[in-house]
Amino acid sequence: VLAKEDPSRIVFYEPVTWSLVVGGTGSGGTGFDRLPGGPANANRSALSYHYYCWIVSPGDGIYPLWKRLACDALLLTRNLENAKEATAATGGGRFLTEFGLCAPTGQANATGTIECNEVLQRTDEEQQSWTYWDSNFTRADGSWNWDVVRSFARAYPMATAGQPVSYSFNLTSGRFDFAYQPDPKVRAPTVVFLPMSVHYPSGVSVNVTGGYTSRLEGNQLLVQPPSGTRRGARAAADTVVTVTVTRK
């Protein structure tokens, strides 16, 4: 009914929070062995899942190695891999709709800083959208909590004129790397979001390969094919455009 009445919307379906620790699509896992709307709605369906490491809290101090191994090497890895496995079986996308129990503090070795940054880096590797809970981006007096803002204001591809291959953002240096396979049938540019005032106050240096050009419009970097490229013109199957952004 949802797909029929509003075909442009994405339908999110969500298992119990611990299901991705178990894994699989059966009753011990997500419980979904098919998409709620069926295979025909795969491009409008997304597995909604959560990640929390229950042995950490925002008030924790230094992050001990055993906790980090338990949370990041074991639990986070298992959640991400099981989400990928579940959607490989059913089709559709996946979205980390909730994570938290961490808050960046500005201290590099603090539990909240390491845990949040690890989740953000790993979701970049998995090309996953995410939603964060638990922290405040502003303080009681209304001023920005910059330790939190800097961690979550990240460069990322908003729209890709083709197929994303990989992307990564270095929180310390501000370097952003993005690679994608262009689709010549797409007229619209590839759009990369750049948090200019937070990470690039003095501007950016941009390098794009393949003869592609770029221009900056506010917080958006637009990447387009070489002038004169015909719509629908064949591109080599292994063509990959890379975009590198660094601070000035």
pLDDT tens digits for 84-120? 999 999 999 999 999 988 888 888 889 889 999 999 9
For 6, counting Cβ atoms within 10 Å of its Cβ (0-12 exposed, 13-18 middle, 19+ buried), the class is: exposed
pLDDT of 79 higher than 80? yes
What pLDDT score was predicted for residue 179?
98
For residue 5, give the amino acid letter. Answer: E
DSSP for residue 229? P
Q: How confident is the model at residue 97, as a pLDDT?
A: 95
pLDDT at residue 234 greater than cutoff 60: no
pTM: 0.88
Angle of the 77-90 helix axis to the 111-125 helix axis, nearest 10: 30
Q: pLDDT at position 136, please?
A: 84
- Both ends of the chain: CA-CA distance in Å? 51
Looking at CATH, the fold of the domain delimited by 1-152 is given as: TIM Barrel (3.20.20)
Q: Fold match between 1-152 and 155-248? A: no
Rounded mean pLDDT, 161-170: 97
What proportion of the chain, given as a percentage, has pLDDT over 90? Answer: 65
Nearest to 86 by CA among 119, 118, 49: 49
Share the mean pLDDT of the chain: 90
Question: Residue 221 — φ and ψ, nearest 5°?
Answer: -100, 120
Q: In what order do the strands lie in the sheet with 176-182?
A: 162-169, 176-182, 241-247, 204-208
Given a contact cutoff of 8 angstroms between Cβ atoms, the answer to whether 31 and 19 are in contact is yes
- In CATH, which of 3.90.180.10, 1.10.10.10, 2.60.40.1180, 2.40.50.140 is domain 155-248? 2.60.40.1180
Q: What is the pLDDT of residue 58?
A: 61
Domain extent listing, the chain:
1-152, 155-248
pLDDT computed for residue 230 by the predictor: 62
Return the number of other C-beta atoms located less than 10 Å from residue 89's C-beta.
Answer: 14
